[in-house]
Structure 1
Amino acid sequence: MSQLDKNKIKKLMTYRYVVWGVLALAYIIVFFHRLAVGVVKDELINAFDITGTTFGNLGSTYFYAYMLMQIPSGMLADSLGARKTVTVGTLVAGIGSMVFGYAPTVFWAFCGRLLVGLGVSVVFISILKVQSEWFKESEFGTMSGITSFVGNLGGVFAKAPLVIMVGYLTWRISFAVIGALSIVIAILCYLFIRNTPEEMGLPSITEIEGKEVKKSSGKKPDLLKGLRKVISNPKTWPGFVVFAGFFGAFVTLSGSWGEAYLVEVYNIPKVKAASYTMSAVLGLAVGSIVIGRLSDAIKKRKLPMMVFGVIYVICWTALVFLNGGKPPIEILMPLLFILGFTCSVFVLGWAYAKEVNPPEIPGISTSVVNIGGFFGAALLPPLLGKVLDRFSDSIPPIELYHKAFMYSFISVVIGFIFIFFIKETNCKNIYKG
């Protein structure tokens, strides 16, 4: 290998973290918007005079947009590439955040939330696409976990720090500021992201790993044909259901109704309540990186999903049933942290999706599985909102939230059952065609 080749490899190994880092900044914004609405629930209800059901639908608008955009996001990532896709998406999200912040009516709040969901929906799939081009196959689970960890920092900012920010700036100005920051990040995306090492005249990861490099015909993959392959592959769907069940339940707690539950059941201040749900988000962040790394280290996907999935079910069992739905406050912080930590096992579903489908369309395969999480996250919060609206005047808060969170518990159990249908890949692509 020549000195020039060594220099190119060194540059690739360095610059890939620049590409990933800028994308990670965009992903922090994704998570902020994912969980921020729950923190300003009271402000939104007062500003627009809406019910709990309408609030749940307002929060879910993000997830519906995100969910519907996952397959188009995969196609965009596999055709236009991450650079253009994320730049435009983050720009749209920034505009949407400003529209949401200055919405004169609830209609415009829904419009802003829709734009945010559409904009941020393209970020994660593009990150997975970039990881498949800039990182080794053996690093994919680890990098997916690190990505989820960094993204969850946005969820942390959407808890107690956002409560403090809203206290100083009002909720409207806070969301406008986040919108402006999103536009700055969009500019950084265009300046620094490159879709593949080859765009910079660098060798591909495949070449560095010593694998056979297939000569390209110059044609783009047939995306519709690829989509049909992914959808018709029965191995795709267990990961979809696991993500839907686990993440849908997590969002009802961390992004929609968790703070209200803690304030009304435990009679604690709003900032303190936000710090409790923040522990769940921190757990998700830490778990993402630990579980992703562990999976790559032991060369297993199904085993860690099964082990941590059991603990996740136990955590929800304690939250919903222990002491009638009011666990002792002394154990609440660690319980929520462990709940978030073990929920993060869904990150393995993205690597699994890539490993059971054609290797040339990682964007599409991961996007189909990714729909599952946002289907659950869109469906459950309004469902809980209907329960809360219907029974809030007739039963005590502890019984009220026990009844509502029962739907989250059922969602988790369904997700866990589908882990049994996951096929072990040993961290390699096993697609047979």
Structure 2
Amino acid sequence: MSSASSIPSRWQSVGLVLAVAAYVLSFFHRAAPAAIAADLQGAFQISAAQLGNLAATYFYVYTVMQLPTGVLVDTLGCRRVLVWGGVTAGLGSLLLGLAPSFEWALAGRTLVGLGVSVAFIAMLKLIATDYDESRFASMVGLGILLANLGSVAAGAPLAWLAQAIGWRTVFLAVGGLSLALALLSRFGIREVPRVRGDRTVWLGGLWRVMSNRATWPGFFANLGLAGAFFAFAGLWAVPYLTQVHGMGRGLASTHVSVYFIGYACGAALWGQVSDRLGRRRPVMIGVSGAHALLWWVWLMGSLPLWGSLLLCCALGLCSAGFTLSWACAKEVNPVALSGMATGLVNVGCFLGASILQPLFGWVMDLGWQGAILNGARLYSAADYANGIRLLALAALMGWCATFFIRETRCRNISGELK
């Protein structure tokens, strides 16, 4: 058990609930551009590459912040990190909702990415220090399952709300919710006597994590697997399904919701399977291999409605194999450095997405023939097929990295590594 067990269990639960709530909002912002892609292109008169950059700005900042967030939660603690993260995300969401131009929208999206970037690492730190290590993957999976309420809300519900009250109003409301959550975190999270790293030696701890060869396979697995997942579901899925498969925006957004529901269920399922088997590596290899293969199904031709829904569900379910990377990173590094370890591995997820989202758009812009509808560019099926191939190759690279994961048998082995 964690040495933080002297914190009353009710406060452990309150702290974890608040961290998960912040993580829910991060998933909403992550997936939202897919449902309102046409609205954003029409509002700011932007190309696919610019739309990709607007969506990926979230991932740029998120990527840069993962290691600093790991250091901050290991030294300053989760409460202050979540409070300031909530304030920053709230202000960013308000700015995005009020943005008069593409540049202002970019600034708002940047602040959103900065603010929500702390939620996941804070959640991992709370689970690592307050709960039994044998339940780590299961609890992380449960947290992801709950957090995906945000991504589900960013699918069909957001598409409907955007038509009913406008996408700007939605982001103004979400901004207010972020500020309220920051206030609750200020009074609802207890820090003492939580396990914390020594503030005077954090640089040495970070070097220890980064110089540990067993940490890096999870980083590269996430770079390809999570990068492909977030690039597609977080932005390009709805435009692809509407322009290539002829779906309405509501139906296409429903596919994205199904995708995230599959991912959420997979995160909870594979965490339970891994903890029960007492193994990490074979679960990651098997599930991630299926994920890499499923991308190619999109290129096999038109699918019936039940087939496209089933494929989205299966892709989401198998995408969740990469979520075991955080348990693997924690278990090959000291518990006091768990924030830095999980933060480093998490960089791969968002670095991959930040590269692949605009690269997908750039690949499509190369073949664009000049067609425009309601201010948004129209692309051919061949243009989208090139983007899908890009994501399939990225997923394949991520799967290859899982073969280098160090098996921990669901326990901390940092003391056994040379």
Q: What is the TM-score when the length of structure 2 is the normalising length?
A: 0.93
Which of residues 236, 246, 252 is equivalent to 2:215?
Answer: 236
**Is residue 32 of structure 2 the alignment partner of residue 53 of structure 1?**
no
Which of residues 383, 407, 410 is equivalent to 1:424?
Answer: 407
Partner of residue 348, structure 1? 324
What SS does structure 2 have at the residue aligned with 1:315?
helix
What SS does structure 1 have at the residue aligned with 2:213?
coil
Which of residues 62, 68, 87 is equivalent to 1:66?
Answer: 62
Partner of residue 398, structure 1? 381
Deviation digits for residues 167-214 of structure 1 (CA, Å, limit 9, x no counterpart)? 121111111111001111111111111235x36xxxx8xxxxxxxxxx
| 2:11/2:188 contact within 8 Å kept | no
Give 1:219 shift.
4.7
Q: Structure 1 residues 25, 405: closer, same or farther in 2, change over 3 A?
A: same
Aligned counterparts of 1:219 and 1:147: Cα–Cα separation in 2: 27
Partner of residue 4, structure 1? none
What SS does structure 2 have at the residue aligned with 1:360?
helix
Aligned counterparts of 2:170 and 2:20: Cα–Cα separation in 1: 21
Partner of residue 13, structure 1? 9
Partner of residue 373, structure 2? none
**Is residue 170 of structure 2 the alignment partner of residue 170 of structure 1?**
no
Which of residues 297, 300, 304 is equivalent to 1:322?
Answer: 300
Give 1:398 shift.
2.1
Q: How does 1:158-237 map to 2 (within 5 A)?
A: 158-196=154-192, 198=193, 219-220=198-199, 222-237=201-216
Give 1:10 shift.
10
Partner of residue 353, structure 2? 377
Which of residues 128, 138, 141 is equivalent to 1:142?
Answer: 138
Aligned counterparts of 1:237 and 1:413: Cα–Cα separation in 2: 17
Give 1:384 shift.
0.7
**Is residue 345 of structure 2 the alignment partner of residue 366 of structure 1?**
no
Q: Structure 1 residues 413, 9: closer, same or farther in 2, change over 3 A?
A: closer
Give 1:48 shift.
1.1
Q: Which amino acid aligns with 1:354?
A: K
Aligned counterparts of 1:252 and 1:351: Cα–Cα separation in 2: 23
What SS does structure 2 have at the residue aligned with 1:183?
helix
What SS does structure 2 have at the residue aligned with 1:267?
coil
Provide the identity percentage. 36
Give 1:390 shift.
1.7
Aligned counterparts of 2:274 and 2:413: Cα–Cα separation in 1: 16
Gaps of 5+ in 1: 1-7, 205-215
Name the larger-Rg structure. 1
Give 1:429 shift.
1.2
Q: Structure 1 residues 26, 192: closer, same or farther in 2, change over 3 A?
A: same
What SS does structure 1 have at the residue aligned with 2:336?
coil
**Is residue 366 of structure 2 the alignment partner of residue 387 of structure 1?**
no
C-alpha root-mean-square deviation of aligned residues, in Å? 1.9
Partner of residue 209, structure 1? none
Deviation digits for residues 1-29 of structure 1 (CA, Å, limit 9, x no counterpart)? xxxxxxx9798334322211111111110
Aligned counterparts of 2:168 and 2:265: Cα–Cα separation in 1: 31
Q: How does 1:3-152 map to 2 (within 5 A)?
A: 12-152=8-148
| 1:318/1:327 contact within 8 Å kept | no
| 1:253/1:277 contact within 8 Å kept | no
What SS does structure 2 have at the residue aligned with 1:104?
coil
What SS does structure 2 have at the residue aligned with 1:225?
helix
Deviation digits for residues 206-247 of structure 1 (CA, Å, limit 9, x no counterpart)? xxxxxxxxxx9x954611111111111111111001111111
Partner of residue 407, structure 1? 390
Give 1:329 shift.
3.2
| 1:66/1:118 contact within 8 Å kept | yes
What SS does structure 2 have at the residue aligned with 1:250?
helix
Q: Structure 1 residues 349, 219: closer, same or farther in 2, change over 3 A?
A: closer
Give 1:252 shift.
2.1
Aligned counterparts of 1:367 and 1:247: Cα–Cα separation in 2: 14
Give 1:41 shift.
1.1
What SS does structure 2 have at the residue aligned with 1:235?
helix
| 2:79/2:186 contact within 8 Å kept | yes
Gaps of 5+ in 2: 371-377
Deviation digits for residues 225-281 of structure 1 (CA, Å, limit 9, x no counterpart)? 111111111111110011111111111221111001110111111001100111111
What SS does structure 1 have at the residue aligned with 2:244?
helix
Q: Structure 1 residues 157, 370: closer, same or farther in 2, change over 3 A?
A: same
Aligned counterparts of 2:259 and 2:117: Cα–Cα separation in 1: 23
Q: Which amino acid aligns with 1:316?
A: W
| 1:230/1:236 contact within 8 Å kept | yes
Deviation digits for residues 63-94 of structure 1 (CA, Å, limit 9, x no counterpart)? 00000011110111011100010011011000
What SS does structure 1 have at the residue aligned with 2:407?
coil
Aligned counterparts of 2:5 and 2:121: Cα–Cα separation in 1: 25
| 1:221/1:361 contact within 8 Å kept | no
Deviation digits for residues 88-122 of structure 1 (CA, Å, limit 9, x no counterpart)? 10110000000011011111111101100111111
Q: Which amino acid aligns with 1:402?
A: A
Q: What is the TM-score when the length of structure 1 is the normalising length?
A: 0.90
Aligned counterparts of 2:191 and 2:117: Cα–Cα separation in 1: 18
| 2:75/2:198 contact within 8 Å kept | no
